[in-house]
Amino acid sequence: MQPSPFGPPADWPVDDLIGYSRGFDAGLVVAAYRSGVFPMPIGRGTMGWFSPLQRGVLPLDGLRVSRSLRKTIKRYELRLDTAFEEVLDRCADPSREGAWINREIRTVYTELHRAGLVHSVEAWTADGRLAGGLYGISVGGLFAGESMFHDEEIGRDASKAALVGLVAVLRSAGGAGRLLDAQWRTDHLATLGVVEIDRFGYLERLAVALRLDPPEWRTGPLDATLRHQDPATD
């Protein structure tokens, strides 16, 4: 693993927040993810850099899909990278509880999307409306999920459907050694199979993942053979 711009992990604080900066750009963001660190704003003009002591990850063979979700998924067409900016806008909606995506985040992640490093997975209704989706950064065999949303009126379980699609993309590239980072395990994410590993366990897995090639991100509808991969069912 390349040297971290945040110094040796052994010297990081015993806290999820390991540093902060005034500067913020695409190069620093990529270097941070390669170091096991991700950004979130912590105040006006200040970016916090986090490496949780207990990291949420979703094992690719551990995704839990309920029978009701399996039925709901069939309502949607899953697509890759066809509406990234709209997904980002919906995730950034300031009326959402816990909204954190600010102008700096939007600018840099849009730049990284155009560079082919940030991707969206979208769930569309049969009549062509965006019902839900997610976005995150893909570096080597790491996919770090950033945010997800669903439309309250038309998007029942649409963000979960997008997650199923994401796992299919990652598994299609060969699941061994790949890492799906969920940042923190919440009660909601736990129902989908997200588990916790400690910081240094995560960094060990990250070092393996970064040696892998990224998945092939093809803009457009998710291949039917991928979306019908058989995840675990509760």
144 contact partners, CB below 8 Å, separation of at least 6: 33, 38, 136, 137, 181, 183
The SS3 assignment for 19 reads strand
* 79/146 same-domain check: yes
Higher pLDDT, 99 or 85: 85
Within 13 Å of residue 224, how many CA atoms lie on the same side as its CB? 1
2 is a domain residue? no
Question: Do 42 and 73 belong together in one domain?
Answer: no
Classify residue 123 by burial, with Cβ atoms within 10 Å: 0-12, 13-18, 19+. buried
In degrees and rounded to multiples of 5, residue 120 shows phi and psi of -120, 145
For residue 183, being part of any structural domain is answered with yes
* 137 within 8 A of 112, measured Cβ to Cβ: yes
pLDDT, mean over the chain: 92
Asked if residue 35 is part of any domain, the answer here is: yes
Tens of pLDDT, residues 60-94: 999 999 998 999 999 999 999 999 999 999 999 98
List the domain range (segments joined by +) for residue 28: 9-53
Whether the per-residue pLDDT at 231 is higher than 70: the answer is: no
Radius of gyration of the chain (CA): 17
> What is the share, in percent, of the chain residues with pLDDT greater than 90?
83
What CA–CA distance (Å, rounded) separates 191 from 215? 26
Q: Are residues 104 and 62 in the same domain?
A: yes
Last residue of a domain, one of 18, 34, 53: 53
Same domain, 68 and 15: no
pLDDT of 43: 81
- In this structure, is residue 24 part of a structural domain? yes
Q: Is the dihedral angle over the CA atoms 153, 57, 145, 82 positive or is it negative?
A: negative
CB 161 within 8 A of CB 123: yes
Asked whether residue 19 falls in the same domain as residue 124, the answer is no
Q: Is residue 1 part of a domain?
A: no
Average pLDDT (163-189) is: 94
Say if CB 109 and CB 146 are below 8 A apart: yes
Please tell me what DSSP assigns to residue 9: G
How far CA 179 is from CA of 107, 133, 176, in Å, comes to 25, 20, 9
pLDDT band per the 50, 70, 90 thresholds, residue 37: very high
Among 38, 53, 68, identify where a domain stops: 53
pLDDT value for 94: 86
* Highest-pLDDT range among 108-117, 184-193, 223-232: 108-117
Whether residues 131 and 216 share a domain: the answer is yes
Model's pTM, two decimal places?
0.93
Residues 39 and 92 in one domain: no
Alpha helices in 76-157, H assignment, sequence order: 84-91, 103-114
User: What pLDDT was estimated at residue 16?
Assistant: 98
Residues 27 and 114 in one domain: no
Q: Which pLDDT belongs to residue 103?
A: 93
Q: Are residues 132 and 122 in the same domain?
A: yes
The answer on 34 and 141 residing in a single domain is: no
Residues 201 and 87 in one domain: yes
Instruction: Look at the chain and report how many structural domains it folds into.
Output: 2
Q: In this structure, are 149 and 184 located in the same domain?
A: yes
State the pLDDT at residue 225. Answer: 54
Output the domain CATH number for residue 175: 3.40.630.70
- Spell out the residues 6+ positions from residue 94 whose beta carbon is closer than 8 angstroms to its own: none
